[in-house]
Chain A
Amino acid sequence: MSFTPRSLATNVISMRSSVSYILSHAPGESVMSHPDYGQHAQHHACLLVLVKGIGGMLKNFNKLWERIQKVNNIKVTDSSGQVRDIWVRYVRDYPVENNDWGDFQTHRRLLGLITLSKFTNQIELNEVCRVHESLKVKYTNTLYDSRAFMFGPISKKPEQEPETYSIFEDDKTSKESSSLGEKFSLPSDQADSLSSAESYPHSSSSTTSLPIQEENYTTPSNFKTHAMFYSENDPVTDLEQNVADLINSLFWVVESKRLERSREKIEKVSLLLAPFEKKDFVGLDMESRNNKKRCMGRVTKNLADLTLQSGLIADSLNLYHNAAEILKAVNDWLWLAAAKEGLCAASAILLYPNLRNPTPLQRNASLQESSPNKTKPLSLFQPNIDPFKKYKLPSSPLRSSKTSSPVNPPSELTPSSSESLETSSRQSETDNADTESLASSSDIEYQSQKSFYMSDHPSIPRQPSQINNQYLLNGEEIAEKYRKAIIHYSKYQNAGIIETEACFKAARIAVEQNNSLHASSFLQNVIFINLTLSEQEKIQRFDTLAELYKEIGFLRKAAFCQRLAATRQVSPNNPNPDWQRCYYLMLHSFPGHRLSLDPNYVIQHQVGWPALQIQLLQELVVAARRMGHPALATRHMTFLLQTMWPHLSRQEHRDLAIQLQALSAQCEGGPVPLVLETGEVIPPANLTHVPRCSAFLPRPPPSPRAPHMLKCKPQQGPFIFTPIHFGSLERKARKDEGKMEYLWVEDDICEVQMKLTNPLPFELKVSNMRLLTSGVVFESIPETIILPPDSPTTVNLHGTPKEVGELQVLGYSTHTLGVKSNCRLKNMPTPNKFLPSYTIEVIPSLPTITIETSVAPSGSVSLSSLENVGSTTNITLYNGESTECTMRITNTSNVPIEYLDIAIQSNMDSQLQSKVFQLSNEDIQAQLPIPPNESATVTMKLYGEADFLDLGGVGGENLFPNSLTSNYPSRVGSPVPNVQSSLPTQSSNAQTSLSSGLIPNRTSGSFRSSNSHTTSWSAPISVMPPSRGRQVEAQVIIRYSGGSGKEVHCRQSTLQINLELLPSMSITHWDVLPAEIPSQLYLVLDVTNLTSEEMDFHYTPSKHILIESKESCRVPVPLDRCPFNLTSRTNEESNSEDMLECKSTVTGSSVTSVEELCSAHVTEHVSLSWQLLHSETRGKASVKGITLSQAMIDIVRMSPLNWEVSVNKQCIKPQEELNCTAGECLSLGVGVWNHLRRPLRQLCLSVQFYQDYNNGVHTYKLDNRLATAGNNKIVLASLPESSKAYHECTVVFLTPGEYKIDIQCSTTEPVLEDIPVIGDTDHPSIIQPCPGEVSHVWRFIPPVAISVTD
């Protein structure tokens, strides 16, 4: 306790004087120890009245108390007709010790007593009366008057007799008792002068004499108080009247005392003492000049106090000033300070009249801030003035002559006018009185007398509005004077409480002046005042400090004080700690710490001082727990963790989390606001940091469950992607924020994916995680997870929407560490920016299905696809094999399937696809609708469509064809017309070549160009030879729908089918051979078995051959020749005649189409099938896409010329063996029919003899072996259609042997029709190798063979 000296002058802030305690004595003796922190400067001018409830608790006590409080100002017209403004201060409790300071500052005297009591029977009534009387005794030193309001069961009011006061007497009594009650002997002469002739009854029993009339109850005989009786529920309409009555009477006492004091002889005045001073003056010479002045100064000060109280503010200013002057001269610091303070108070009252107008300033700890009518103005009382006016004041003995109405209604006289009018008279009167009294005091010092006069005369500005008193302090001066006063007070340890109160008063004035810095400096000073106070009072001190700090906007200081108060509440020194109040104090210090009860606000704004906030919150948690409100403790701890998370260290996180767990074990935290007893609402705190969510995204339904639009939207533009959004880009983007593109389905499980991290170093169990949604009804499935420390975990939350409409996903709820939290996305901590909500549209429920597939022939292959996960069916087929796949579609939902559409998508082109997969749509539609839990079966046929013609043998061309072709020398020489166009046409190729179908046939062009050599020996045009297996991936897309949303949305399931096509057989080479009968031919095929099994190959209905694995075999397939008329007929819409007359290009195409027709004919009539003996697999094969060279076509086609060959007039039958002898003359007749529909021109008919050595060598030089007669070659200029030309020649074989006759007809004409006749007859065009001229050769096949014998 060592206060170092600080310079008073320089440092305005420190008002503590270092000379403190110079004059003070040992503490503890008669020290006013009950500070009244609620004091205001204006209370200096107030009459103090105690209002006490006694006896049984009145239920409307507070209401009455408020009503009484409103009667805080009455106007009394004094004896000179001047209206006095009398102010009253009501208190509910007043320590008697403070009463002792009544001499020092008269406003500390308790002047009146009002009791409100309740009784139900006589005993209680007696008790109530006794208490009332005892209270009177307690304050007997100062009490002037009292009232008792009694509420009892009696319905009839007791008659009330007008009270007869002896106020003067009363005054005397109290005065005497006040001065003498302390058994402190004053100088005798003074005592004599004071106790004038009147006798005073020493007990208060004589104060009032009230005959109490009751019917049932009687007050005890010693109860001598003006009592009013009411029934319990009486509205007590005359309460205000009675109170005003009391005040009125009090006023007169005070006024009389003032007058008396003012009339005192100045040399006779006794020394007024502050309670602790009593010992100081023992044995001092009171007659010394110094002490005389001291007495005078003190009395003047006392008079000033009384003057102020009795409503003469301006007068009091002068008196205060005078007192200060006198006291300063004698260094009476304490009283000087009091005088200065009084001066300040009086000035403040005049300067700031509204200080006293708003009544709220009655601050009792018991009803802090709770009275709602604080700001109600005085005028509330005024309606009651009129009845009050009628109420005649009982005559007071002194003032009986004067007609005075106790209250001047303001309507009658404005204070200014009335006062100014009355001023003079009053002045004169008072002057008279003063001069009288002063004059009588003969030996008064001139100085003081002068000052009396000086002070009295020029002053008295009656109008508060016109304040021109020379002693009136302005705002600055008030502060300065107060400061000085406080410094003076501080010199006395025993005046600590006075100093404290002065500080508060000064601070309140500074608040009124709007000078916060002054206010704060005054308040700061309070801290330094060292008082021995009870804990409760210390708390109160801090409380008041906090309130004042709050008023000047020093919220942090206020918070600091509140926190101090709170810690005091529960400090170990405090005998009865009050955790509840501690808690509330802490709670109310939130604004000063820049904390809000709403965690979201705190998180968003992040203001304030984290370290202090954390400290405060921790203390708050403790307070709440000790208070016995575990829910609050949990809530605040959650709040602490949530809001201060970024400011806490890892260790603190852990500790606090463990603490929270312990707290929540007592009371679980929930996301509901807690309402305190005071009505404050603690909003819920949600833990969003534990666990921390770093990602939150609603997921689209899994693909089989995802709804699709039934009809595709019309394409926006021609582009698949375009950066240009037609319409306004921006608006759309903004609108769709948080709106999900996908849909959720009613009654279907939906999913939200979150990424959670546990930031705590121990394993965290999060239970009951759900989704928070708004919009449609949503059933969330709780989830419990255990999060390991510091590893991000993906968590999926599920739920089911139960309605159709828009669903907003707002966040999630957790239950962890014993706290339930609703973590809303919009409140998420900043590092992860989430959209405030996700909006998802929920569509009506759609059916779900399961699909089982089974492949027919091998029934074992049965795949059931549950849960619609795109399942795969693997099917293996040999080329040409066919099978059936059965899909069993079961409706697993409660919604019937009313729409079903099956489509197949594969990597094949659509034509080929339709051959491989065959579905019957009608069959599907017939099975609809599928009710719940029933199934439908769809059968799909699969065929291993393939190209069997293999190009793989290109290199091996020589193996087989040469031998065949060599038989026909003429063929070598017959050029193939239009090599290019004779190739298989593109259309047929695309159509038939399976392998090329895999990709749009691009490579065929290049292939074709390099293909010229194959045309002589036709090979299939096939990108991929059939000898290799192929994979076909196809998806069966099943779109289905039902229920109310079937018009718009559907679901889609895909069934993957992997079709493996294995090679079965291939046709590597082929040729055509004329058959024995001219109407037939043999298609010779080289067939290879590509399987690993032995194959039974059927090439005609009756013929079959077994082919070993990987072996190839040549088979002749007998075939009818392509009928010529068919050829011509089916020639696309134009007969061959027209074709031939067309230009070369057209001719080319006609040749092509002819080839096509032949190819189709062959394909149609060749039916091949195979069977694998081991695995019993059967399949078909075709020669589709077969290409035929011109020579082959000639064979395949029926000849346009019919031959009639006869030997010796005998027709030769096919395969007929002719025999003759050498030298025999054979007549060979050749007839040629033209079956074409046009005449043939330049037809060259030739007969040639040759010998076939059967080794590939033909000998045409037979000059010495035979002789012919007649032309063996003639040229027919023209052979009209359907006409016949006949030529005959004779031959004689000279030597025996085997001869063959090649009969052929050739024309130069069909290809190039333009050349009509170019050297027709004499030019043997056959010789001409010109390919353009010889275009067609028809041959009589088989050649006629003649064996010549000797």
Chain B
Amino acid sequence: MTTRSWWRHGESYRMSRLRTKNSPLYIGGIGNDTNTDNELSRQWLVHTALDALEERLASNNSNTTGANTNNTRTDLRDLYLGLLYSTDTHKIYGYVTNTRIKLVLVTSSTSPSGSNIRDAEVRTALRRLHALYADAICNPFHLPGDQITSLKFDKQVKNLMLNNV
């Protein structure tokens, strides 16, 4: 199996109502494994990763509120949450925007070259994805909270992943 990057992109927070929607906004991926069963299992994977993500968010928040303001500043900048958890086959990385849009990146645990995926790579990839997402929802016809169906976005995301791989 070639390296498969698999993005999940979702978890919009509706701040106005203070309730999480936690439903996927966009799911996309590259790789040769398009089996629906695997697809579903990956979705389970991402779904369960949300727990860890939220927990990390919460702990971050408590840290920042309790700690000094320096921390807050850095925390505000650091939207990247790092590795959420890994399984035998996949690694799951998290990223949360300031508007609590959660970006989750799933990669296979091993890259074909054998080298581990570096943290920095993932970080930049997620940052770029964030930028793409921001572009995508700038579309005035997009309703926040709806699934993103833009073909352009899809293409761009896939490009991004291919380049990173």
A residues near B (Cβ < 8 Å) are: 3-4, 11, 13-14, 516-517, 520-521, 524, 527-528, 549, 552-557, 559-560, 563, 593-594, 605-612, 615
Contact = CB atoms under 8 A, between A and B. Distances in A.
Interface stretch (B83-91, B127-135, B157-165): B83-91
B59 A13 contact: no
Contact of A612 (B20, B40, B86): B40
Contacts of B40: 611-612, 615
Contacts of A557: 48, 51-52
A608 B20 CA distance: 9
A607 B23 contact: yes
A13 B43 CA distance: 21
B51 A554 contact: yes
Contacts of A609: 22-24, 43, 47
B55 A607 contact: no
B85 A555 contact: no
B82 to A, nearest CB: 10
B43 A517 contact: no
B85 A556 contact: no
A776 B43 CA distance: 51
Nearest to A616: B44
Given A556-B47, A556-B51, A610 B86 contact: no
Contacts of B56: 517
Contacts of B109: 4
Contacts of A612: 40, 43-44, 47
A556 B48 contact: yes
Q: What is the interface of chain B mostly: helix, strand, loop, or mixed?
A: mixed
A607 B21 contact: yes
27 contacts: A3-B88, A13-B83, A13-B86, A517-B52, A517-B55, A520-B51, A520-B52, A521-B85, A527-B87, A528-B88, A552-B55, A554-B48, A554-B51, A554-B55, A556-B47, A556-B48, A557-B51, A557-B52, A594-B22, A606-B21, A607-B19, A607-B21, A608-B23, A609-B47, A611-B24, A612-B43, A615-B40
Nearest to A4: B110
Interface in B69-128: 83, 85-88, 109-110
Contacts of A559: 48
Contact of A517 (B20, B47, B50, B59): B59
Contacts, number: 70
Given A517-B56, A594-B22, A610-B23, A13 B50 contact: no
A138 to B, nearest CB: 39
Given A13-B85, A560-B44, A553 B51 contact: yes
A556 B49 CA distance: 8
A559 B48 CA distance: 8
A578 to B, nearest CB: 22
Interface in B1-60: 19-24, 40, 43-44, 47-48, 50-52, 55-56, 59
Interface of B: 19-24, 40, 43-44, 47-48, 50-52, 55-56, 59, 83, 85-88, 109-110
Given A517-B56, A555-B51, A609-B47, A524 B22 contact: no
Nearest to A3: B88
Contacts of A606: 21, 23
Contacts of A11: 86
Contacts of A3: 88
**List of 3 A-B pairs having minimum Cβ-Cβ separation, nearest first:** A554-B51, A560-B48, A556-B51
Given A13-B83, A556-B47, A611-B43, A516 B22 contact: no
Nearest to B40: A615
A607 B24 CA distance: 9
Nearest to A552: B55
A14 B91 CA distance: 12
A612 B39 CA distance: 11
Contacts of A608: 22-23
B47 to A, nearest CB: 5
B47 A560 contact: yes
Given A4-B110, A13-B86, A14-B86, A549 B23 contact: no
A607 B23 CA distance: 6
Contacts of A605: 19
Given A606-B21, A606-B23, A520 B85 contact: yes
A563 B50 CA distance: 17
Contacts of B44: 560, 563, 612
Contacts of B21: 606-607
Contacts of B88: 3, 528
Residue among B43, B51, B87 with most chain A CB within 10 A:
B51
A605 B19 CA distance: 9
A607 B52 contact: no
Contacts of A520: 51-52, 55, 85
A560 to B, nearest CB: 4
Contacts of B24: 609-611
Nearest to B110: A4
Contacts of B52: 517, 520, 554, 557
B29 to A, nearest CB: 14
A524 B51 contact: no
A556 B110 CA distance: 26
A609 B44 CA distance: 9
Contacts of A611: 24, 40, 43
Contacts of A516: 55, 59
B141 to A, nearest CB: 18
Given A11-B86, A554-B55, A609-B47, 13 more contacts: A13-B86, A517-B59, A521-B85, A553-B55, A557-B48, A557-B52, A560-B44, A594-B22, A605-B19, A607-B19, A609-B22, A612-B40, A615-B40
Contacts of A524: 85
Given A607-B23, A609-B22, A556 B86 contact: no
A555 to B, nearest CB: 7
A606 B22 CA distance: 9
Given A14-B86, A528-B88, A556 B50 contact: yes
A622 to B, nearest CB: 15
A528 B85 CA distance: 13
A3 to B, nearest CB: 8
Contacts of A563: 44
Nearest to B83: A13
A1142 B48 CA distance: 113
A315 B46 CA distance: 46
Nearest to A614: B40
Contacts of A552: 55
Nearest to B145: A606
A607 B51 contact: no
Contact of A607 (B22, B48, B87, B110): B22
Nearest to A613: B23
B148 to A, nearest CB: 15
Contacts of B23: 606-610
B116 to A, nearest CB: 9
Contacts of A615: 40
A483 to B, nearest CB: 15
Contacts of B87: 527
Contacts of B55: 516-517, 520, 552-554
Contacts of A610: 23-24
Nearest to A521: B85
A514 to B, nearest CB: 10
Contacts of A560: 44, 47-48
B28 to A, nearest CB: 14
A9 to B, nearest CB: 14
B85 to A, nearest CB: 6
A612 B36 CA distance: 12
A899 B88 CA distance: 89
Nearest to B11: A609
Nearest to A14: B86
Nearest to A515: B59
Nearest to A564: B44
A24 to B, nearest CB: 20
A561 to B, nearest CB: 9
Contacts of A549: 51
